[in-house]
Structure 1
Amino acid sequence: MHNSRLSAGTSRPAGRRLFQAFLMLFAVVAGALTFSGTAQAHGSVVGPPSRAYHCWEEWGSDHMNPAMAQEDPMCWQAYQANPNTMWNWMSMLQDGLGGQFEARIPNGKLCSNNHPNFESLNKPGPWKTTPVGDNFTIHLYDQASHGADYFKVYVSKQGFDPKTEALGWDDLDFITQTGRFAPAKDITFPVQTSGYSGHHIVFTIWQASHLDQAYLMCSDVDFG
């Protein structure tokens, strides 16, 4: 039926929509090719979900749905800025930081790991939150099973507002640093906090074991 309509002549608005859809698909494919093959086989914090992972989990199979603009405006703006923010949720890494995170990652760029493809993740706004208690679990999905030299976990200070402020280093309370983890696809560990309420950012640094690769990720949570 679709082909018969085309053969009969496609209206200008319909043809424009088809052309725009083709351009979007081309942009996604072309953008994905800018990442190396290994860059797509890494990982992210999936619980509580990082901003990029949340957008992929909620909208990856429904990314053309205009309802995203109203229901999840921060994912919508991220997808409009760069579709790879969603498609390459596991590739937000920086090489060779040498553990000098505060010196190498500027304020306001923490949620993107200072990566230009993920710049939209730094934008303040009504990011969807995951309910957590004072004690919760970090869950990393590591597709390539790199393991970890360590994780560092921070929580945004009480009074910091993720809806209006971009995250900086001075906005964080250091919570914990783990030891090493052997290579595995799923890594979990407990986090203990107290004194937080409302919308906060859980900021996680994953120092992978196979190379000097660091992943810096923001997860939006709601402390009940």
Structure 2
Amino acid sequence: MAGALAVLTAAATAVVVAPQPAYAHGAMTSPATRTWACYLEGPESPLSNACRDAVAQGGTQPLYDWYGVLVGDNAGRHRELIPDGRLCGAGTTKYAAYNAARVDWPATTLESGAAHRFTYAAWAPHPGTFEVYVTKDGYDPTGPLAWSDLEPAPFSIVTNPSIVDGAYQWDAMLPANKTGRHVIYSIWQRSDSPEAFFNCSDVIFGDDGGSDPGPVGKCYATVTVDQRWPGGFQASVTVRNDGPVSVRPWSLGWHMYNGAVIGSGWNAVFSQSGHMARADAPRWNDTLAPNSSVTIGFIATGEPTDPPIATPFLNGVACM
């Protein structure tokens, strides 16, 4: 790790302001829904094949509106209104590209039977109930996702969870005895409107058995506040590639807490759109080898929380 960090050069860069996403309501960010994971890769230049193909099919606007996968007149009738094979896009044309049946969607690695803190971005808070399902044992990601692929009962149901740092958050136990690649499917039905929101979050319980050809297996991240002063702070993010192969080019994405805004940074090319920030590999250090780490830093305005940012994603995969 020390050797990898020694080659980094502290070259400060200005932050590029990306297009602002349209106003919408919310989506699952942990585990990451497909549109959120692809948004973190960058709508204009996604890194993974799955996200690139989705943008080629449906354009960039679904990613700028990554939290708008909804049915306006749902009123609990989703199994009637959303056909099999179109669950991830909620039966809409706009998000149809995210129904694609493939094994390389960016995925979050989880531990079966363990506790997990679910986060659901609350862009426009509403009262309502969240139901969270998981696919059955033997689920085949190469086939269209059908209602019958989900376990018959949700493993988590919560009504009006607390909003913390701009996101609904609640703790739940993940289903036990799950292995490999699965989909966690969430439904948020508003109680003040018939409107409901739908998300597919790709996850891997333990080892996916080599079915995922993507370069990122697992990653580990640490975030520290190095300095703080009235109205601002300096932070560092270290990410280690725990996967089996090199990641090139690497890219990190995360949610900035408490309205903080990045002004400048080093060891990466930074951009920010609203609460969402991204750090892309510089040309002189674009490869993250297995078991190696990269450390980036930035200066931001705002009062830091602890930690000051959400856990980063490495090329669309949530770090631990």
Using the size of structure 1 for normalisation, the TM-score is 0.74
Instruction: Tell me the equivalent position of 2:124.
Output: 144
Q: What is the match of residue 70 of structure 2?
A: 93
Aligned ranges 1:22-41 → 2 under 5 Å: 40-41=23-24
Q: Deviations over 1:169-193 (max 9, x none)?
A: 1000132322233677311122321
Q: Give yes or no for the alignment of 1:191 onto 2:172.
A: yes
Aligned partners of 1:45, 1:131: CA distance in 2, in Å? 15
> What residue is the counterpart of 2:57 in the other structure?
81
Question: Partner residue of 2:189?
Answer: 207
Helix, strand or coil for the counterpart of 1:79?
helix
Q: Distance in 2 between matches of 1:59 and 1:87?
A: 9
Which residue identity does 1:127 align to in structure 2? W
User: 1:220 aligned to 202, 210, 216, which one?
Assistant: 202
The structure with the largest strand share of the pair is 2
Partner of 1:50 in structure 2?
A: 33
Is this contact kept in 2: 1:95–1:213, CA < 8 A? yes
SS of 2:56's equivalent? helix
> Normalising by the residue count of structure 2, what TM-score does the alignment of the two structures yield?
0.53
The answer on whether the counterparts of 1:139 and 1:188 sit within 8 Å (CA) in structure 2 is yes
Which of 109, 115, 129 is the equivalent residue of 2:107?
A: 129
State whether residues 78 and 85 of structure 1, in contact with CA within 8 Å, keep that contact through their aligned partners in structure 2: no
Contact 2:161–2:170 at 8 Å: present in 1 too? no
- 1:114 is matched with 91
1:94 Cα deviation from its structure 2 partner: 0.9
* Counterpart secondary structure, 1:154: strand
What is the root-mean-square deviation in Å for CA atoms of aligned residues? 2.1
Identity %: 27
**Structure with more of its chain in helix, by fraction:** 1
CA distance in 2, matches of 1:128, 1:142: 22
Query: Given residue 141 of structure 1, which amino acid in structure 2 is its aligned partner?
Result: A
